[in-house]
Every structure is written in structure tokens, then in C-alpha cells.
Amino acid sequence: MELTKREKRKLRLEKLRHESQEVQQEHEQRLEHQKQFQEQKTKSRKSKYYIIGAIVGILILAVGGFSVYSISKPGQYDGFAKCLTEKGAVMYGAMDWCQYTQAQKGMFGKSFDEIEYHEYQDLPGIKKTPTWVYQDKWYENVQSFESLAAITGCKLQG
């Protein structure tokens, strides 16, 4: 039995429709795979951001905790500085512009808060900064801790 032209054409059209449907299904499957891949990629990125955010948060908490600890911790020379002040030693200087006054302050670090300090204009006659005044005697320039201890009798701790 031989097929007529019409039947052959019909078979060919059905075959083409079937092939077209297969190609369309393959295309839809590829699109679905791409969508799933993009979703996985997005989830992966989100989890990376959450991990990075958690690490940054932990670091911020650690730095903040250390800062609070450092601020509340007494200075290394607090006892010595308190003794100088209790004995009446006063430092006069020019904190804003004098590198030597700043250096003397730097030697004490946090403990400088315990030193009685005044700007040089508060005491007429000061020619050099810093100047330490103790028992009406003036000690010009940066003084070592050993020198201040010898002058005042304070024990150097630190």
C-alpha cells in the first residue's frame, strides 16, 4: 500500500509537530535548569553575605569590648602621677603647639590625667615649656621619671 501525497504530507507535518514539541520541551527544561542554577547561586551568595556579616559583627564586638576594657584599665604610671600631684608638683606647658610638652605628656600616657597640668600663661615668668614647679623651684624642659622621683621623693612605679 502506497501512501498518497496527502497522507505523506500529513505524516510529515505530524513528524514536524512532534519534533517541534520535543525541541520546545528541551528548551523549557533548559530554562528550568537555568532558573534552578540561578536560585542556587543566589542562595550561595546570600549565605556568603550572612557569613561575612557575622564575622564583621563579631569583629566590631571584639574591638568595642577591647576599647571598653582599655579605657577602664588604669594607666601604667597612675600611682607615680598621683604621688606627684599629691606632693604639689605642677606641670606648666603649651599642649597645643609645644612638641616637648606633648612628649612629656606622652611619657605618662593615660596616667597624664592624674598630673596637675596648667598652660604656661597661668604662671608669669615661664620661658620654656614644659616647666615643672615643685616647692617654689622651677625645673625646665622635659624631666625624666627618675628626675621627677628624685625631686619629689615619689617612688617610680610602672
DSSP per-residue string spanning 20-73: HHHHHHHHHHHHHHHHHHHHHHHHHHHHHHHHHHHHHHHHHHHHHHHHHHHHHS
Q: What pLDDT shows up at residue 40?
A: 86
Whether 46 has a pLDDT exceeding 90, the answer reads: no
Q: 41: domain range?
A: 1-73
Whether 1 has a pLDDT exceeding 80, the answer reads: no
Please tell me whether residues 50 and 2 are part of one structural domain. yes
Q: Which residue has the higher pLDDT, 38 or 140?
A: 140
* 157 is a domain residue: no
Cis amide prior to 124 (ω within 30 degrees): no
**Mean pLDDT confidence for 116-127:** 97
pLDDT tens profile 11-25: 999 999 999 999 999
Whether 158 has a pLDDT exceeding 60, the answer reads: no
* 125 is a domain residue: yes
State the chain's mean pLDDT as an integer.
92
Residue 95 belongs to domain with CATH number? 3.40.30.10
* 96 is a domain residue: yes
Please tell me whether residues 121 and 146 are part of one structural domain. yes
Whether 76 has a pLDDT exceeding 60, the answer reads: yes
Final residue in a domain of this structure, among 54, 73, 92: 73
Q: What pLDDT shows up at residue 68?
A: 84
Please tell me whether residues 29 and 96 are part of one structural domain. no
Please tell me whether residues 8 and 55 are part of one structural domain. yes
C-alpha closest to that of 80 among 50, 120, 112: 112
Final residue in a domain of this structure, among 73, 108, 124: 73
What is the torsional sign of CA 57, 61, 67, 68? positive
pLDDT tens profile 92-119: 999 999 999 999 999 999 999 999 999 9
Structural domains in the chain (count): 2
**Mean pLDDT confidence for 50-73:** 89
